[in-house]
Amino acid sequence: MFSTLRNNSRIVVYIVVVAFVVTGAFMGYGAYFDGGGGGGGTQPPTSENPGVIAEVNNHEISEEEFFSVLQQQAPQRALSSSEIISFRYEILDSIIERHLILEKADDINVEVEVAEAEVEENYNALLEENEITEEELVENLSEQGFTLGDLKDDIRRNLERSKRLTQTIDEAIGEIEVSEAEIEELYLERYPEEETALADVEAELEDEIREGKRNEAVIDWLEGLKSEAEIVINEPVLSAYHEYQTENYEEAVEQFSSFIELESNPVFYNYLALSHSALGNYEAAEEIFSEAITEFPNDNDIGFNYAQLLVEQNKEAEAIEILNDISDRAGNDFMTRYQLFIMFSQLGAEEEANNELETIQGLSEEMEEEEDMPALEEDILEEEMEDIEIEDTEEDISVEDPIN
């Protein structure tokens, strides 16, 4: 990463993350501490062939910028083929959002200041997080051709742009109002037995409602920015996925069909079938899933989505058969077992759902004993599976983006 920074004026990548909150901006500081990127097995292109992965209002997003963020944000676990595409798309979409927000900041002349104390606070936090002394860091920087001043300058720029992002969003969204009626409605929903007095939790509920409304407003505002922008995605697979995500299903069908002619890849079959389904072409979608599950019998994304499509066609018995095939090979895969439990429950297949639940509980006990339970799995057990009753699961099954 350091050679990349030297060859390209030390490009610093920022990414706006919009899910339930806007967290600001991130820079790949990891290289300052270990000389490497964020892993994930994806390497950026060489500087001799930089490439342009996308364009936003004629602003080029280079493959180098994209892969730098991709590496820094790469998850620790292996991703399925469908997850890889959606993860890459989310990274690119976040970079696009970052460019659009900063473009808006320029339009409305947003100016911010960063105090030296803020730089030092973030610098010390980085040292602590990376468990490295200043002496070790200076030596590492020197080996890479950088100085402590270079790092602190990057921290300062990061803070400046983070503040500009936040301030621009705040000005665009404005004040979020919360009514007494909204607070009372959430209170009655959250505390139906009235064991807790409204006065004791009113401030907490108001903050929760305001945060939720703000997040929705931010997402809507960003979608508006993107709808008005000229966005061109040059990477073929991400372009096809963009068509699928933006509900241009006919174009998605055309592009994923062309991919299959060149390469037999399960993820292409998956999105081709899902695009057909979204268009109401259920027979075509079922034929594609049937062909894909024959060619890729061990691909769970195809299996789950095929099962969902069959449910849409009132073919529950066939769907259960496919889910049983997935269960037979699921082994100790906690998340696959959990997905199976949910789908069996939704289908009213109580025996199968109970079997999955027992397996999940056994796996969780083993992980607790080994003190090695991933945070996500622990959250699922605590929040969603405690005292669950199969007959109370009434959520509808729908064919949508592949289960991840």
What is the full DSSP assignment across 278-318?
A: HTT-HHHHHHHHHHHHHH-TT-HHHHHHHHHHHHHTT-HHH
Token duo for residue 26: 């991130």
> At 251, phi and psi to the nearest 5?
-65, -40
Token duo for residue 264: 């037999």
Q: Which residue in 87, 97, 83 sits closest to 67, CA to CA? A: 87
Per the domain annotation, does 114 fall within a domain?
A: yes
Distance CA 320, CA 354 (A): 14
Alpha carbon of 258 to those of 36, 81, 107, 253, 264: distances in Å? Answer: 36, 18, 41, 9, 11
Per the domain annotation, does 338 fall within a domain?
A: yes
CA 73, 74, 77, 78 torsion-angle sign: positive
Distance CA 52, CA 29 (A): 23
Q: Could you tell me if 232 and 243 are in contact, meaning their C-beta atoms sit under 8 angstroms apart?
A: no
Decide which of 148, 173, 198 is a domain's last residue.
173
Distance CA 170, CA 131 (A): 35
Decide which of 173, 191, 208 is a domain's last residue.
173
Q: Could you tell me if 385 and 364 are in contact, meaning their C-beta atoms sit under 8 angstroms apart?
A: no
Strand extents, DSSP E, 57-101 = 59-62
> At 141, phi and psi to the nearest 5?
-60, -45
Per the domain annotation, does 302 fall within a domain?
A: no
Decide which of 125, 157, 173 is a domain's last residue.
173
Per the domain annotation, does 289 fall within a domain?
A: no
pLDDT number for residue 374: 52
User: Block means of pLDDT (10 residues each) for the chain, length 404 residues?
Assistant: 29 28 34 39 36 92 88 77 87 93 94 94 89 90 88 91 93 94 94 85 95 94 94 93 94 96 92 96 96 93 94 94 95 92 94 94 82 52 48 43 42
Report the 10 Å Cβ neighbour count for 381: 19
Place of tokens 């066939």: 318
Contacts of 240 (CB under 8 A, 6+ apart): 251, 252, 255, 256, 259, 271
Per the domain annotation, does 390 fall within a domain?
A: yes
Per the domain annotation, does 243 fall within a domain?
A: no
Per the domain annotation, does 105 fall within a domain?
A: yes
Query: Residue 99 belongs to what domain range?
Result: 2-173
pLDDT number for residue 111: 93
Token duo for residue 164: 């500009």
Alpha carbon of 385 to those of 92, 186, 338: distances in Å? Answer: 34, 23, 9
Q: Could you tell me if 313 and 282 are in contact, meaning their C-beta atoms sit under 8 angstroms apart?
A: yes
pLDDT number for residue 70: 86
Q: Which residue in 267, 272, 266, 269 sits closest to 251, CA to CA? A: 272
pLDDT number for residue 25: 32
pLDDT number for residue 371: 60
Token duo for residue 50: 């930089």
CATH number at residue 163: 1.10.4030.10
Q: What total of structural domains would you count in the chain?
A: 2
Per the domain annotation, does 200 fall within a domain?
A: no
Is 53 in a helix, a strand, or coil? strand
Residue type, 284: A
